A and B are shown apart, each in its own frame.
Chain A
Amino acid sequence: MNGTGIWIAVGLTAVGCYLLKLGGLLVPAETLERPLVRRLSGLLPVALLAALTAQQTFASGGALVLDARAAGIAAAALALLLRAPFLVVVAAAVVVTAGVRALGG
Chain B
Amino acid sequence: MAERNTAAAHPAGPPGAPPAGPSGTEPRPVGRDTVGSRVTGPDTAGSRVVGSDGVEPGTGKPDRAVVRDSLGVGVAVGLSGFAFGVTSVGAGLDLLQTCALSLLVFTGASQFALVGALAAGGNPFTAAAGAFFLGTRNAFYGLRLSQLLALPRAVRPFAAHWVIDETAAVSLAQPDRRAARIGFTVTGLTLYVLWNLTTLLGALGAEAIGDTAAWGLDAAGPAVFLALLAPMLRTATERAVAGLAVLLGLGFLPVLPAGVPVLVAALAAPAVLWLKGRGEAGR
A: residues with CB less than 8 A from B are 1, 3, 5-10, 12-14, 16-18, 20-27, 29, 32-33, 36, 38-59, 61-64, 68-69, 72-73, 76-77, 80, 83-87, 89-90, 92-99, 101
Contacts and interface: CB of A to CB of B under 8 A. Distances in A.
Contacts of A8: 124-125, 128
Contacts of B249: 50-52, 54-55
Interface in B94-114: 94, 97, 100-101, 104-107, 109-114
Contacts of B31: 85-86
Given A3-B94, A10-B100, A62-B254, A52 B116 contact: yes
Query: Which of under 10, 10 to 19, 20 to 34, or 35 or more describes the interface residues of B?
Result: 35 or more
A24 B164 CA distance: 11
B245 interface: yes
Nearest first, the 5 A-B pairs at minimum CB distance are A24-B142, A98-B216, A51-B249, A97-B216, A51-B265
Contact of A40 (B132, B230, B273): B273
Main DSSP-derived SS at the B contact region: helix
B131 A51 contact: no
Contacts, number: 333
**Which among B5, B10, B160, B258 has the highest number of chain A CB atoms within 10 Å?**
B160
B232 A46 contact: yes
